[in-house]
Structure formats: structure tokens, C-alpha cells
Amino acid sequence: MSDLGFDGRVAVVTGAGGGLGREYALLLASRGARVVVNDTGGSTAGEGADEGPADGVAREIRDLGGEATADTHSVATPEGGKAVVRTALDAYGTVDIVVNNAGILRDAPFHEMTADLLDPVLDVHLKGAFYVTTPAWNVMREQGYGRVINTISAAGVLGTANKSNYGSAKTGLIGLTRVLAAEGAAHGIKTNAVAPIALTRMLTQSLTRTGVQGKVPEPEPDRAEQAMTVERMRSFVDRLDPALVAPVVAYLAHEDCPVSGEMYTVGAGHVARFFVGRTDGYFNPALSMEDVRDHFDEIRDETGYTVPKDPGEETGRLFRTVQG
């Protein structure tokens, strides 16, 4: 089997001035894609701006013999999203691949989740994906080809404390991924999502809070078990090289990508699929509240679960159950 290349393809990678996005941009460019390296260069919370990160990665790619253009517009507004895609059109004439990767964190427990913590997170992750993908979508529809990769997170898919804003934005992107897969099918456009696990400044910030990275209180000498757990956790974290997420994103961005509307969890060189399953369930045409109580185990039983590919299949299943 031959190596996979991106000759002639144009990719926009948002938030590519560091962390995961930088690795995506480097890999795509090393395989021949012309890449727009977008990044505002702000803090993990999304404050401030700096041209340095986007410029630096674009230069790094060019120094390695690739083609790249830096872009520092924010994905968080419709104008910013249009400008990011405009950079690709002006520099390279088209856009074939969008990797929606830009992201920020503003964690707080739900009872302290104020609008100034919620709105910017929704704006960058969820609306940002709309704002960048929409102008690119029109180009992709016209050319009958495109690849979109959205960045989701286990923190949303599976849920974790203190991230109601982030988790909601990330799971909103699952819906966007599914709907774009449905709408893009007739136009040669495939959309998938990746939930990365990688040691970047973002993960470092989350881990610092949980005591795995940074100012970790040293375990007491007699607590050998605790010391081993922290040590093993540290060595695990050290293996979470963001470069090991990039091959999955690049494959999903390639014309050979065989799927659309799917989600992959990726870290340390491991790749697996997340999916939405449906239990076989319980049916009673005269369903009462007590029936629900009495059959709750059956309703939840994962034996024989299925993975509906679309709402039509789900409704079809219900139709067959109801009709007998």
C-alpha cells in the first residue's frame, strides 16, 4: 500500500499555533497539503492575542520545505471565520479541509457558571466551528469535495465536573458533525470528529488542578501506594504526545477516508471509536410509570444494543416494534 498524500489539497487548521493544531498542520504539510495556520495566540482562557504562534508554525512548515500561511483572525465571530477562509482562498485559491481545533477553557462548577465563562467557550468551540466551516462549506459544495474534522472531548461525551460550558460546546459539535455528514453526503463532503487526549498546555492546566502535573503535593514517604499512583500517572501523561493524535486527524482529512459522521477517541497512539448505542429496550403499548420502574433494568440492558446510523433507522426500528 502506498503512502497517503495531500498534493494539491488546501487545509485550514484553526488553533494551529501550538499543541494539537500545530501537529496537525505539520503532518498535513509534510504530506503535501498547503496549510493555513490559524491562531489568535491568546491564553488558555482566550485572553490576549499574539501573532507569534501562528507565524512561528507557518515559518516552521516553510523551513521544512512545505507551504503554509499564517492567519490570526479569531474563529469566534462570523467575520473572523470568513476571514480565516478568505486567507486560504487568497493564498491558495480553494479550501478542501477544515480542522476545527481552536479551543479555550474557562472551568467553574455549574453553580458559578456565569455568562462570561459560558459565552466565550461556546463562541470559540461550537460557534467557531460554524463560523469557519460555513464559508468553507460553500466552496466545498461547489467543488463537490471536502473534509471537515471537528474536535470533541471525552469531557463532554462522557461528562466531567467543572466543565459544563466546555462539555456542552463539545457535545454540540457531535450534533454538528452528524448533521454535516448527512448534508455533505451528496456533495462529496465528509465530516468526522476526534476526541484527543494529549499533553498540551490545555491538558496541563486541567491536570494541575487535579494534582497530576505542576505543583503536585509530594506524597508522604510512608504512603508508597499513593506515590506509585502519582508516578505511574506522570509516566502515562508523558506518553500523551500530541503528534500521536495527528495521524488520525490526517487520515480523516484524506480523500481515502471511508466514513462520515463518526467520532474517534485518540491518545498516545491508541485509536478507538465512540458511538451512540441504543439498547433493545422494553415495549408496552399501554406504558405506565410503574412499567418504567418495573422494567428499568431491561430498558437499560446493553445486551444486543444497536447503533442507529440515522434518525430514519431509529424511527424504522420503533415502527417495527410498534407494528409487531
Ligand X SMILES: NC(=O)c1ccc[n+]([C@@H]2O[C@H](COP(=O)([O-])OP(=O)(O)OC[C@H]3O[C@@H](n4cnc5c(N)ncnc54)[C@H](O)[C@@H]3O)[C@@H](O)[C@H]2O)c1
Which parts of this chain interact with ligand X (CB under 6 A)? Answer: 14-15, 17-21, 38-42, 44, 46, 53, 74-76, 101-104, 124, 128, 151, 153, 195-198, 200-203
The amino acid at residue 52 is: G
The amino acid at residue 301 is: D
What is the secondary structure of 195-218 as a DSSP string? Answer: EEE--SHHHHHHHHHHTSSSSPPP
Which residue intervals of the chain are DSSP H helices?
19-30, 52-63, 78-92, 115-121, 128-143, 154, 164-184, 201-210, 224-238, 246-253, 289-294, 296-300, 311-323
On the 0-12 / 13-18 / 19+ scale of CB atoms within 10 A, 226 is exposed
The count of other CB atoms within 10 Å of the CB of residue 228 is: 11
Q: For cell 418504567, name the residue.
A: 292
User: Three-state SS for 309?
Assistant: coil
Whether the CB-CB separation of 153 and 166 falls below 8 Å is answered with yes
Answer yes or no: 305 catalytic. no
Per annotation, catalytic residue among 145, 166, 251, 282: 166
| Rg for the chain, CA atoms, rounded | 22
DSSP assignment letter at 127:
I
Whether the CB-CB separation of 95 and 140 falls below 8 Å is answered with yes
Instruction: Give 21's Cβ-side CA count (13 Å radius).
Output: 32
- Cα four-point dihedral sign 163, 166, 169, 174: negative
The amino acid at residue 113 is: M
Which strand (E) or helix (H) includes residue 149?
strand 146-151
What is the smallest separation between the CB atom of 104 and ligand X, expressed in angstroms?
5
Active site residues per annotation: 166
